Amino acid sequence: MLNFILRRLALIVPTVIGISLCAFFFVRVLPGDPILAMAGQHGVSPERYEILREQFGYNLPIWQQYFNYLGNVLQGNFGVSLSTKRPVLTEFMTLFPATVELALVAMLFAVLVGIPAGIFAAVKRGSWFDQLTMGVALTGYSMPIFWWGLLLIIFFSGYLGWTPVSGRIALTFFLRPITGFMLIDTILYGNWAAFVSALRHLILPAIVLGTIPLAVIARQTRSAMLEVLGEDYVRTARAKGLSPKRVVNVHALRNALIPVITTIGLQIGLLLGGAILTETIFSWPGIGKWMIDSISKRDYVVVQSGLLLIALIVMAVNLIVDVLYAVINPRIRVK
Amino acid sequence: MKLAKTLLAATAIVALAAGAAQAKQLVYCSEASPAHFDPGPLTGGNDFDATSHAIYNRLVEFVPGGTEVAPALAESWEISEDGLEITFKLRPGVKWHTTPYFTPTRDLTAEDVIFTFERQWKEDNAWYNYLEGMTWDYFQGMDMPKYIKDITAVDDLTVKFTLTEPNAPMIANLAMDFASIVSKEYADKLEAEGNLAAFSTQPVGTGPFVFVDYQLDTVIRYQAFADYWDGKQPIDDLVFAITTDPSVRAQRLIAGECDIMPYPAPADIAQLQNDPNLTVMEQEGLNIGYISYNVTEAPFDNVNVRKALTMAIDKAAIIEAVYQGAGEDAKNLIPPTMWSYNDEIPADEYNPEEAKRLLEEAGVTELTTDLWAMPVSRPYNPNAQRVAELIQSDWAAVGVNANIVSYEWTEYRERGKQPDRKGPFQIGWTGDNGDPDNFFATLFSCSAIGVSNYSNWCNDEFEALIQEAKTTSDQEKRAELYSKAQEIFKAEEPAMTLAHSRVFMPMKKTVLNYKMSPLGNHSFKGVDIQE
């Protein structure tokens, strides 16, 4: 097992270098000058321009800029945002909990609805429920997120008034973040009303963000389940006279879930990378919205380091999923 | 231990919030997060809303809802005969904010005023470069180093600005956000602690609201300043709820999550106007969208060709299709809300037949040209690509073939400045200080060629008028000069003035005394909430 983890870890090093190279050079081939972008509609004097170029090291050869950057990153220095002048890592750490909280709740929603729906559709294959579930799943998968989010806001928040429109908590609550996870913080403050408010604010964004993973999980569960239900050991279990419920829940489900877990892991990795559209619609202060705002502000430093940080997080999650997978399925370790 | 402390502090805050349940709170759904809280180096409108208008004051300020300048931290000022000295008398007893991170020991003095400008001006000042890669964009952009020779304290409450040459717009410049007065005492304290960066995150001002808290990309909280020199504000708490998407802002306003919001999406305006609980205020923006002809390149060096091309464009159709009710035909370079606007100037005529005739007369047949489209959306030109397409078809009707070109925004402006740029160039401007000089000289003076004069147009008569207006302090005389300059501009057509934006400000009917600023600021000074 240790051998397996070490092998996976070793793979991360070239990946990180590759990603840092991509992030670094992509940002540099973009048209536009970062110094000019920093100055507003009045521009900047040629003397000041030179001073700033030197200050940011843009006057050095590009390979030297890259190694300086890599060196800084290895020391935990991801640079300072061009617009806010705050360290990129500080901003990332401030905003990341909001992204994690939303991603986990969205995933919880997707799993709790997606897996039972998939199982039921498989067991009742060909029934109206199966067709309805798969139809809805396909629709969910192809839904434009921005439109879907606005539609839910207009209906549930605007028309019915059941849920708040956006934000993480009602503005009447003034709680300074402790962990950055609103649900946990409100509990730590012992403020029940604030907790309810935070939960209400999570409902719509979690549904919107969970829609695509829900569709993927439901379809994956259904097909895995169908495959397993045709296996010999399931027939044996039935032949032994076990109840259909037991056959499905114990014998079939366990094996059918293995590919589903991989899917869940991959989806979590994607969600943690920042749900750009969902965060933007719901004014959710997470890293997806942060990245988009930085791109529109041409904050090259944030874009470059943000990409790298997000890639590191996704890789870390994938590693954890791989390890868990190896724990569940010993055959993986041998391969 | 740290957690326990945080919890204790937090409980205190919750208790405070609960105790202040009856407090009057105004929630503003703002459109973006401020970069930070030091107005000197900032550039964005949303930055200034969150800093200079809430937390700070200037020596002089624009009157609410206007572009005229009125006394603020300076009670009065005098301009010397030769126009080279401006002496400001400061208001006595102006208090600085007391916050958990700073307790002032003295009131506002001349020392603070001098510090405010020297940090932006003198490279040897410890604060000139206190944030990595910072630029004093407005101080430089308004040419302050060129015009200011010296700033001295005559006594504790008197400051004298000595200029290098008479400069009438200087007073308006000092009303701009970058000229917000900051505390020297607070700066000294941070310098002693070696914590200069805190100046941009923990602001201290003299303004109507005291900064309380900022949660990144989420919410900014302020409290009315009890000792404000102009009296405590009618509301107790001011909250900026940062909501970037305009449709979501509208939904938040409708749902009652905020009281007032800026920049609604054009598609949402009708719904907001029909909502019985809301009022939608509107006004022309202090801006201009225009199309610059490069007058140094043939055939655009011929004024009749420029006039013909303008005449061939159906402006009304463009304004309807692209601005969707949020634009107004511009016949002059400056908007009608600005003093010296010349209303005698006739609007551009749409006459393809006459355009064709003029082109033929000028010997221009089968003209193929580039037509530049900005890659970004601005209130003065929300969709330059679409504008370009409409112009392309209008011009095709008079035998002019236009190829639309576009580049990334900084690249676009850089290429636009090239002296041999081919083809008309879409661009625009948003006024800084409500002074006509800020439009005429910034955009079409001879010295702006290669900077922001995209027409490369240098007209002696026009230049003489705007230079004289710049050095004249009598406003009536200045208005006359600018009025004449507008006539020359129209006769020479160095650019086609397309449109001024219309700005909308939806709010709850319970919001009282809000005044829209023609400068595009959002200030909540004097605003009340009906209970």
Closest residue on chain B to A48 (Cα):
B135
Joined tokens for residue B281: 């205020």
Q: Given the structure tokens 């209303």, which residue do they identify?
A: B343
Q: What is the DSSP string of B125-172?
A: STTTT-STT---HHHHHTTHHHHEEEEEEEETTEEEEEESS--TTHHH
pLDDT digits (tens, 9 = 90+) for A270-318: 787 768 889 988 989 999 999 988 887 778 889 889 989 988 888 888 8
Q: What is the per-residue burial (b if ≥16 Cβ within 10 Å, else e) of B336-358?
A: ebbbbbbeebeebebebeebbeb
Min Cα distance B166 → chain A (Å) is: 22
Partner-chain contact B142 A52, CB within 8 Å: no
Determine how β-strand B85-90 pairs with β-strand B74-79.
Answer: antiparallel
B245: chain A residues, CB-CB within 8 Å = 280-281, 283
Task: Give A39's pLDDT tier (boundaries 50, 70, 90).
Answer: low
pLDDT digits (tens, 9 = 90+) for B255-283: 999 999 999 988 899 999 999 999 999 98
What is residue B281's predicted lDDT score, i.e. its pLDDT?
Answer: 96
Question: B337: which residues sit within 8 A by CB, 6+ positions away?
Answer: B67, B283, B284, B286, B518
Task: Give B4's pLDDT tier (boundaries 50, 70, 90).
Answer: very low
Residue B187 has pLDDT above 90, yes or no: yes
Joined tokens for residue B302: 């011929």
Residue B2 has pLDDT above 70, yes or no: no
Min Cα distance A186 → chain B (Å) is: 11
In eight-state DSSP terms, residue B205 is -
**Residue B25: which H helix or E strand, with range?**
strand B25-30
CB within 8 Å of chain B, chain A residues 194-213: none
CA distance A209 to A101: 12
Residue B16 has pLDDT above 50, yes or no: no
What is residue B522's predicted lDDT score, i.e. its pLDDT?
Answer: 94
Least Cα distance to B79 among B8, B170, B5 occurs for B170
Beta bridge partners of B30: B242
What is residue A246's predicted lDDT score, i.e. its pLDDT?
Answer: 85
**Mean of all residue pLDDT scores within chain A:** 87
**Mean of all residue pLDDT scores within chain B:** 92
**Which residue of B137, B213, B244 is in closest CB contact with A39?**
B137
Question: A325: which residues sit within 8 A by CB, 6+ positions away?
Answer: A258, A261, A262, A265, A332
Residue B515 has pLDDT above 60, yes or no: yes
CB within 8 Å of chain B, chain A residues 34-93: 36-45, 48, 52, 55-56, 80, 82-86, 91
Question: A120: which residues sit within 8 A by CB, 6+ positions away?
Answer: A129, A130, A133
In eight-state DSSP terms, residue B178 is G
Q: Work out the end-to-end distance of chain B between its first and last CA atoms, rounded to an integer number of angstroms.
A: 43
What is residue A53's predicted lDDT score, i.e. its pLDDT?
Answer: 83
pLDDT digits (tens, 9 = 90+) for B356-388: 999 999 999 889 999 999 988 888 998 999 999
Mean per-residue pLDDT for B302-311? 96
**B106 within 8 A of B185, measured Cβ to Cβ:** yes
Beta bridge partners of B292: B425, B495
B35: chain A residues, CB-CB within 8 Å = 83-85
CA distance B238 to B528: 11
Mean per-residue pLDDT for B222-247? 95
Ramachandran angles phi, psi of B221, nearest 5°? -120, 140
Partner-chain contact B10 A80, CB within 8 Å: no
The structure's pTM equals 0.86
What is residue B19's predicted lDDT score, i.e. its pLDDT?
Answer: 42
B32: chain A residues, CB-CB within 8 Å = 293
CA distance B149 to B80: 15
CA distances from A138 to A134, A213, A216 (A): 6, 11, 9
Q: What is the DSSP string of B236-303?
A: SEEEEEE---HHHHHHHHHTTS-SB-S---GGGHHHHHH-TTEEEEEEE-SEEEEEE--TTSTTTTSH
Q: Does A222 touch chain B (CB under 8 A)?
A: no
pLDDT digits (tens, 9 = 90+) for A199-210: 999 999 999 999
A44: chain B residues, CB-CB within 8 Å = 135, 137, 140
**B299 within 8 A of B278, measured Cβ to Cβ:** no
pLDDT digits (tens, 9 = 90+) for A211-265: 999 999 999 999 999 998 888 888 888 888 888 888 888 788 888 888 888 888 8
CA distance A230 to B42: 67
The sign one gets for the Cα dihedral A202, A204, A206, A207 is positive
Closest residue on chain A to B222 (Cα):
A174
Partner-chain contact B134 A85, CB within 8 Å: yes
Distance of CA B75 to the CA centre of its chain: 25
Residue B3 has pLDDT above 50, yes or no: no
Partner-chain contact A166 B27, CB within 8 Å: no
Least Cα distance to B172 among B194, B197, B200, B143 occurs for B143
pLDDT digits (tens, 9 = 90+) for B34-83: 999 999 999 888 999 999 999 999 999 999 888 889 999 999 999 998 99
Closest residue on chain A to B258 (Cα):
A171
Task: Give A323's pLDDT tier (boundaries 50, 70, 90).
Answer: confident
**A209 within 8 A of A98, measured Cβ to Cβ:** no
Residue B222 has pLDDT above 80, yes or no: yes
Mutation for testing the B interface, residue in A166, A189, A277, A303 having most B CBs under 10 Å? A166
CB within 8 Å of chain B, chain A residues 287-316: 289-290, 293, 298
Mean per-residue pLDDT for A148-171? 91
Q: What is the per-residue burial (b if ≥16 Cβ within 10 Å, else e) of A50-80?
A: ebbeeebeeeeeeeebbeebbeebeeeebbb
Q: Does A173 touch chain B (CB under 8 A)?
A: yes
Closest residue on chain B to A87 (Cα):
B132
Mean per-residue pLDDT for B458-466? 96
Joined tokens for residue A179: 């962990």
CA distance B227 to B401: 65
pLDDT digits (tens, 9 = 90+) for B400-458: 999 999 987 778 888 999 999 999 999 999 888 889 999 999 999 998 898 889 999 99
